[in-house]
Each structure stands twice: as C-alpha cells, then as structure tokens.
Structure 1
Amino acid sequence: MATININENLFEIVDTIEKMTIADSFVARSNKIGGGNGEAKFYVGNENAETRSFFGENGFRINCFLLKKDLKEFLLNSEGEYKNPEQPYQKKENLPALWQERMKIIEQLDEVLHFTLIEQTQIAGPRIYVKAPDNDPIYKLIREIALPNISYLSAIKLIDPNGNFVFYFKPFVDYFGEYENPFVIEEEIKILEEEELPTEVKTQLLRARKGQGKYRQALLEECPFCPITLISDDRLLIASHIKPWVKSDDDEKIDPKNGFMLTPTYDLLFDRGFISFSNDKKIIISPWLSKMTCSKLSISPEKQYPMLPTAGRENYLEYHRNNIFKG
C-alpha cells in the first residue's frame, strides 16, 4: 500500500476522491456571487457504492484534517482572483482586503488543523451532504477562503499510525480549466512587452508561452515523440514547460531543456503537478490522483520511462518536484 509522510508521521493511503466542487451555496456571504446567506452543508457525492466505500455507512462521522501550508498555497494560487476578480461577486470590492486578512489568520494557525465531518442523514435524496459541528472554526475557515465555482476540495482516505481511518482534505483552485488566473498571465505578458528587448526576442518569448516558435522546434529536434506514450505525430504533441513560463526568467522561457514533448493528457497531468519525474526517469504520482484514475491512465509509481530526456533538466525537474508537484 502506498504511503504519505505528513509532519513526520507515516500514513497508508487507502484511496482518493479527486474533486468535490465548492458551489456558491456553500461559501461565506462575503464571497458569494448569487443571493442567500450560504449553507453550511457540503456535497461530497451521490449515494453509491464508491462514495460509501470511501466515507462510510449511512450516518458516518469522520475525523479529518487540513494542513496550514495547503491553506497558504490555496490563497497564493487564488490571489489573482481575489484582487482582480473574473467572476461577478456581490462584494468584489472587499475581496482584496479579505485576502490580506485571511492570510494573516492562516499564518497564526497550527500546522495541522483537525475537524470532524458528520453526514446529514436528515436530507433525503441521492446526494450525500456533510457538515461539521456548529461553529467549528476550521470548517468555517474553509467556507470563508473558498471562492465559488473555481475552488474544489480533494480528500485522501488514510490509515494513521494507530490503525484508524482519517481523512486529509486539501483545497485547490481551477480557473475553468486553467491553472493560472487570466490576470496573472496578462500582467506577465504586459511586463514582458514593456521590456526594452528586440521585437524578435519578445515574439519568441511570447510564442514560448504557448509552446510555439523556436522553443517548440528545439524540443522536437531533441525528442520528436512523447517519452511516455511514444507517439511521434507532432500534431498531437505539446511543448510543455517544466518550470512554468510565468515563473521563468527570459532565458528559461525559451530554454528547450526546460521542457518535454508530451501528449495532451500527460501534458495536463504534468502541468498541474499530478505527476512528476525523478532524475533517473521514474514517474512520481501525486496521492491526489485516485487509484481508479491511475489504473485508467496505465500509470504506476516508480515506473521508468527510458526515453525521457532528463539530462540537463535536473534543476528544472527539482523545481517541478518542489513547487509544482502535488505531493
């Protein structure tokens, strides 16, 4: 059984629920788009064998935790939306100040934040809802920092060192299929366009943002196929950055060693940090992917891909493992 080390404690991984979308009805009033005060109950899935196997029988009560570092990461990843909202929040003028306040609150918390979830059995129907005991501060904090539609929770079911089930929850942000807020990208492009660089250089840097131009050509010359699937039709290959374009300096943006040619599914998995690679060409799989998803993708921990070009990419891969990979 796979394991995960959390604060020097080793847990066995049972399985993962990858995405439970946070709806507008759940978030605190300060973050809402529509009307109403917000509901404390949270939808975790439909009534079926898979959901029951993960959470428990009817009327379950489960011990859960969040990590302080995950809450900080979530706020950093959602900073662009808080400060330059894309969605029509009712009180969007307050969001920049709320981001600052919430980050200060999180900074003062313990490293591990425990809470309890209880199934709401009084709600009839095929949908399963949970709620924490009244006034639970950690559950309340989730509702306060989450932004509707672009926030979601994932959960890993674990066995702790004492043999008990415990559930590790983590919030994520997804900008309708994009990892980065559009404003952040626009600002980075604006800064680049204002730099005193030759027009041709700027063009190459901007094309590299989309995996095009000389950057893509150089990558194809070095590795004209996806090292995972071995597909060589260049129409189906994406020039993926290892260290993201937004985080790279001008040289790194167009450095072919800062990239792989990948087919779309694996490009997305790598870009979002659900997989990474060791310097000796072995895949590293995030615990935030379920066993079923891994099975469907035909990926398994420590599988080696001999054609993966890691030479010269060691520093970029280290950055990816430390900053992008969802460990």
Structure 2
Amino acid sequence: MLSETVFRSEDLAVADRFDAWRACMNDTHAPLDLSSDHAADFRAHQRLIRLGEASVWPATFQQLIFRRTPKLIRQSDPEVYHLSLLVKGEARVSWGRQGAAYSAYDFHTNDSGRPYEIWTGAQPITSVGVEVPKALLPLPRNKAGQVLGRRMSGREGIGALLAQFLAQMAADTSAYRPADGPRLGLVLTDLVTALFAHTLDADSSLPPETRTRTLTLRIKSFIRRHLHDPELTPAGIAAAHHISRSYLHRLFQAEDTTVSAYVRHQRLEAARRDLVDPALRTTPVHVIAARWGFPRAADFSRAFRAAYGSTPTSHRHQAPHPGTGPGR
C-alpha cells in the first residue's frame, strides 16, 4: 500500500479540531491563515497520499477562507504548484486584482510563492488536492505561472485524464505497492505538465518524453472508454489519435506489451467484474462476453481461463453473492 496519512476531525476534541486542521493544511501545502464560520466545531476529513515528491490529498471539509499572505510566504515557501479538483461544492479565488470562480469538476491552481485568498461556499467541499514541486515541471516558470486564474475543466481532454487519475487514487490505493509511489508521481507530474501546456497552448515546449507518456495515457483512456466497440482495432485507435499504426505499436512496446494484449486484458477485466456483480448475476455469461468485445463464447472462455486459471462460470460461482445462485 502507498504511504498515507489520515486526518479525521472526529478523532479530536471539539476545541482542538480547527487548530489541528490548520496544522494539517500547513503541512500538506504551505503555511496558511484560515478562518471559518464553523471553527467552534470544525469537521474535516483528509487522506494525504505520498507519490514520491508529489502528493495527492482527497478531502472533505466545511466552509473555509484560506489566505496565503506575503508574510507567510516570507516565512516559508515550499516551492510547489497546487491544483484542486472540485468534486462537490464551489469556490472563489483571488490573486489581488485577478479572480476566478470554480464549480464541480473545475481545476483551480495556486503557486505557493504568490499571495492568494480562497473562499469556499456555504456547503461542505469535496475536492482532490495535488502538490507538485515546481522543479519537477519541465516548463519555464514564467509559462507555468500564467496558468493561475485559468479555468481548466476536469470533464474533457487532458483535464479529464488527470481527473480520472485523481479519482482512482482517491478511491483506493490498496492495489499499489510502496515502490509504485514514485512511478505514479511521475505519471501525475506528466499529466499536470500536459494540462498546463495545453491550457497555455504551449505543447511545443514539452520535452519529447513527456509528450510521449501523455499520448500513451490518452490512448489508454480512449481504449477503456471504447471497450464495447467491436471495431476497436489498432488501425482505428491510431486513426483516432492521428498517428501511424507503427508508432502506436512502438508506444506499447515501450511498456512491454502490445496494443492487442492491452485491449484484451482490459476487456477481460471488465468482464470479470461483471461476472461477480450481484446486479448482473442472472445475465448469461455469453451476453457479458459479447458486451465486452468477445462475440464468440468459446474464444472468451479460452481467453478467460488462460488469464485467470478458471472458466467464467466457475469464477462466477466462486464469488460470494446474496440470494439464489448466479445465472449462467
């Protein structure tokens, strides 16, 4: 499991909760002046997930005002860029004369070396924060700094890729080993870099290796969204991304796999999840197979046994479920 630190206000005495949250925020991002209408009995929950030098922190908290003042910057500047993906709630941010408003599935960005003020709405906020050292982003500082105040959507394009990555981190980290942390931090940094560059229309300033990794992530996301499509072929995938088939194959060779193997694995994983889903226990196996791109039941059964060591029906029977036995 990845390194995580959990903050729960309910674990503390009521009188200590707000001061403890302030200390938590100071350690997570940078020293901040905080105030809240709920300071007398503040409620918050945060998980701080370390990914090498970068970090991700899913959090839910009550109404807050965050202030990063020049005095606090002089006291301590960790030299990081901060992004927050709003999942629920709304917020306003001000950088002196410049300001912006944000709602669900918007990203907002801050620089630990610039003063700012954030006001969250009356309803509790759910967000996923990101801290990335400035030194890790292969963009000129004057370019990266221009992202402040730009609205970046987490619903489409590179923003959606980053949002999906953060949602997966926030949902469950149990499948990852400690050694995966720095690798995932590299993926996170590449996605943040690509989002900044896309926002600034400065993709040409990205190093080739960052562009390559970002393209690979974009292609994998495309594949996962189109697993139902029987025409999901290397030729179609390459055409959708305006690259040649040979270049597509080279991208996957660099990851020690092939395009077809990656598609097959993702389809098998999706079918395996459906087979043990209690809501689908009466759905015939061959229907699930066809749904995930295996029109021939025999081909699906053979591929499933090769991947997991049992037949689809046996796998379904072994899964715990309420009520009557599963459909076949």
TM-score, length of structure 1 as denominator length: 0.24
| Bigger radius of gyration among the two | 2
Task: State TM-score, norm by structure 2.
Answer: 0.24
Q: Which has the higher helix share?
A: 2
More relative contact order, 1 or 2 (CA 8 Å, 6+ apart): 1
